[in-house]
Structure 1
Amino acid sequence: MKHPLPARPAHICVLRLSALGDVCNLVPTVRALQRCWPDARISWIVGRAEHSLLAGLEGVEFVVYDKHSGVAGMRALWRELADTRFDVLLHMQQSIRASLLSLGLKARVRLGYDRERAKDWQTFFTHRRLAPHPRAHVLQSFMDFARALGVEDDRLEWGIPLPDAAIGEAQEFLDGRPALVISPCASPRPRNYRNWTAQGYAAVIDHAWRRHGLTTFLTGGNSDQEREMCRLIRAGVSEAEPVELLGRTSLKGLLALIARARAVIAPDSGPVHMANAMHTPVVGLYATTNPQRAAPWCWREQVVNRYPDAVRHYLHQSPDDIAWGRRVRHEAAMSLITVDDVTERLDALLALGRDGEDDACDPIDGRSLYQESPDA
Structure 2
Amino acid sequence: MSPPDSICLLRTSAIGDVTHVVPLVRTLQAAWPQARLTWIVGKLERRLVGDLPGVDFVTFDKAAGWTGMREVWTALRGQGFEALLQMQVALRSNLLSLGIKADRRIGYDAARAKDLHGLVVNERIPARTGEHVLVAIGSFCEPLGLKQTEVRWDIPIPDEAQAWAAEQLPGDTPTLLVSPTSSHALRNWRPERYAAVMNHAAARGWRVALVGGPSPDERAMADAVLAHCKHAPLDLTGKDTLKKLLALLSRAHLLLTPDSGPMHMANAVGTKVLGLHAASNPNRSGPYSDRRWCVDKYDAAAHKYFGKPADELAWGTKIEKPGVMDLIGVDDVVERFEAAAHEIGFP
Q: Is the pair's TM-score, using the shorter chain for normalization, greater than 0.5?
A: yes
Q: Which residue of 1 aligns with 2:226?
A: 234
Which residue is equivalent to 1:9? 4
Question: How far has the Cα of 1:236 moved from its partner?
Answer: 1.2
Partner of 2:176: 180
Residue pairs, 1:40-189, within 5 angstroms: 40-176=35-171, 177-187=173-183, 189=184
Counterpart Cα distance in 2 of 1:214 and 1:147: 44
1:153 deviation in Å?
4.8
Runs of 4+ in 1 over 4 A off after TM superposition: none
Return the alpha-carbon distance in structure 1 between the equivalents of residues 305 and 123 of structure 2: 38
If asked which structure has higher relative contact order (CA below 8 Å, sep 6+), I would say 1
Aligned to 2:271: 280
User: 1:210 maps to which residue?
Assistant: 203
Aligned length, in residue pairs: 344
User: For residues 133 and 194 of structure 2, what CA distance do their matches in structure 1 show?
Assistant: 27
Q: Hey, what's the Cα distance between the residues in 1 that align with 2:71 and 2:223?
A: 42
C-alpha separation between the residues in 2 aligned to 1:154 and 1:41? 21
For 1:113 and 1:178, how far apart are their aligned partners in 2?
Answer: 42
Whether contact under 8 Å (1:143, 1:154) holds in the other structure is: no
Deviation at 1:95, TM superposition (A): 0.7
SS in 2 for 1:64: strand
Secondary structure of the corresponding residue to residue 77 of structure 2: coil
* Alpha carbons 1:51, 1:64 under 8 Å: kept: yes
Q: Secondary structure at the match of 1:116?
A: helix
272-281 vs 71-80, which moves further: 71-80
- 2:27 corresponds to 1:38: no
Are 2:186 and 1:193 equivalent residues in the alignment?
A: yes
Structure 1 unaligned segments of length 5 or more: list them.
1-5, 355-376
CA contact (8 A) 1:220 1:246 kept: yes
- Is the 1:52–1:252 contact (alpha carbons within 8 Å) kept by the matching residues of 2? yes
Q: Output the CA distance in 2 between the equivalents of 1:140 and 1:229.
A: 32
Percent of pairs with identical residues: 44
- Maintained 8 Å contact 2:250/2:266: yes
Find the aligned partners of 2:170 and 2:132 in 1 and give their Cα distance. 37
Structure 2: how far apart are the matches of 1:36 and 1:88? 15
Question: Which sections of structure 2, spanning at least 5 residues, go unmatched?
Answer: none
CA contact under 8 A between 2:276 and 2:295: conserved in structure 1?
Answer: yes
Conserved? CA contact 1:203–1:339, under 8 Å: yes
Over residues 105-161 of structure 1, what are the superposed CA-to-partner deviations in whole Å (9 max), with x where a residue is unaligned? 111110000011112121111011112011111011001101221113521110000
Q: Report the alpha carbon displacement of residue 306 of structure 1 after superposing the two structures with TM.
A: 0.3
8 Å CA contact retained: 1:36, 1:153: no
